[in-house]
Structure 1
Amino acid sequence: MTKVAVISANGRVGSLVVKELVERGYDVTGFGRKAQNTTVAQTYIQKDLFELTKADLAEFEVVVDAFGTFAPETLHLHVEVIKHLTALLAGTKTRLLIVGGAGSLYDDPEHKTQLVDTPDFPAEFYALAKAQTDALTELRKHDDVDWTFISPAADFQVDGKRTGKYILAGEELTLNDRGESIISYADYALAMADEIQNGDHIKERISVVGK
């Protein structure tokens, strides 16, 4: 049975990823800062992610980084989390999957312009998108870690339904048949679980869009 660690497991995305994995029969350990486990993970460990050690993660075949923060004074932590986790997993066979952002998706086939740098990008989301983009840039430096960065669609819906369907895409902003870049947290968690199961995109950034 594959053992998976989900960091920030009590979060909205993390808890849904835990649910998808447990339902597939994975042995899931959730890590979180709070004492209470609000997930269905079989095991829960209260520990701040910056206090995690190599020994804490040694037994897992997959680690999911579901960390997220929106406060301006903590946005730099997106990069710091990547630095910390890659240092712990460097040179190991443990796969690292990251819940990413959409701002780093490319707006052109030449991959010269990222969504965050386009003229119409919403100003209120710029700082967060830039922090998540910087996190991907940092991640790409680490060839000694088997990472996968999964970007959601531009419209990432917290309370959207689980349709069980999604489009697997790559580095570019992709639209569905209705011309939308949209996906629910629940369908994103489904896509994350599929990638954990299949392992088809090592050292790649992929993206997912709701059908």
Structure 2
Amino acid sequence: MKVAVYGASGMVGSRIVAEAVARGHEVIGVTRSGAELPVGVQGVQASANDVASVKEIVGDADVVAVALGPSRTGGDHQEYLDAVDNLIAAAQGTETRLLVVGGAGGLSIGGQRVVDGPEFPAEYKAESLTVAKVLDTLQASDESLNWTMLHPSYVIAPGERTGTFRLGLDEPVGDHISAEDFAVAVLDEFEKPAHNRRRFTLGY
């Protein structure tokens, strides 16, 4: 399987790259910076905001992991939204599978989004609302788009690859997940699709 990973040098993207390589897949790691990637990865310096390169990369991949996120430093979130729109447009009507990394804020408890709850940290609210817009866009897409959004638990951080975690759909599961096990779930979904055109989540 040919796996393209946008944000391949980030905390989540780098773990997805490592997991895909370990499983013997052909991996294209896409970064803006041209960062050094592990041996066996085809590194591509490109931006998801560049329509031409997105069409080429998505068109050449079987599956695409979108491990990007909106700015946390006050930058314009529209750039992130435009990037995801480009990826969606490139995958629409093709056989390429698109998996977008979501956030815990977009999950719901009793019908209320986590991000709208009174205890949700204010410093993450803008970011979570922006990522939630992407979920709305994916859910509104027509049947020709093969998409999945995977939401981590409340806390995701570097840790241990255990291969043992719980899955859920719309409501949070547990309170944390390692980036390594998040990557395991991404590759599991790529290899044995179980959540076509819907979101799911995981945690311990």
TM-score band by shorter chain is over 0.9
With 50-59 and 116-125 compared, the bigger mean Cα shift is at: 50-59
How far, CA to CA, are the matches of 1:196 and 1:126 in structure 2? 29
Corresponding position of 2:188? 194
Deviations 1:161-193 (A, max 9, x none): 222211111011223xxxxx1111111111111
Check the 8 A contact 1:13/1:66 in 2, yes or no: yes
Residues 168 and 208 in structure 1, CA contact (< 8 A), matched pair in contact too: yes
The correspondence of residues 124-163 of structure 1 with structure 2, limited to 5 A, is: 124-143=123-142, 144-156=144-156, 158-163=157-162
Shift of 1:127: 1.0
Deviations, residues 26-50 of structure 1 (Å, cap 9, x unaligned): 0011111112323345211111111
What is the alpha-carbon distance in structure 1 between the residues aligned to residue 79 and residue 115 of structure 2?
A: 19
What CA RMSD, in Å, does the superposition of the two structures yield over aligned residues?
Answer: 1.4
Distance 1:124 1:87, change over 3 A: same
Q: What is the TM-score when the length of structure 1 is the normalising length?
A: 0.89
Letter aligned with residue 200 of structure 2: I
Q: Distance in 2 between matches of 1:81 and 1:148?
A: 17
Change (3 A) 1:115 1:136: same
Q: Is the 8 A contact 2:4 2:28 kept in 1?
A: yes
Cα distance in structure 1, aligned partners of 2:109 and 2:40: 37
- Name stretches of at least 5 consecutive residues in structure 1 with no aligned partner: 176-180
TM-score by length of 2: 0.92
Q: CA deviation at 1:132?
A: 1.1
Quote the residue 2:169 is aligned against.
Answer: 170
Segments of structure 2 that go 5 or more residues without pairing to the other structure are none
Rate the CA distance shift 1:116–1:34 in 2: closer, same or farther, 3 A. same
| Percent of pairs with identical residues | 34
Greater mean alpha carbon deviation, residues 79-88 or residues 201-210: 79-88
Closer, same or farther: CA 106–40 of 1 in aligned 2, 3 Å: farther
Q: Using a 3 Å threshold, how does the CA distance of structure 1 residues 41 and 153 change in structure 2: closer, same or farther?
A: farther
Question: Given the superposition, is the C-alpha separation of residues 77 and 135 from structure 1 closer, same or farther in structure 2, using an over 3 Å criterion?
Answer: farther
Q: Distance in 1 between matches of 2:133 and 2:115?
A: 11
Q: How many residues align?
A: 200
Corresponding residue SS for 1:103: helix
Deviations 1:9-36 (A, max 9, x none): 1111111001101111100111111123
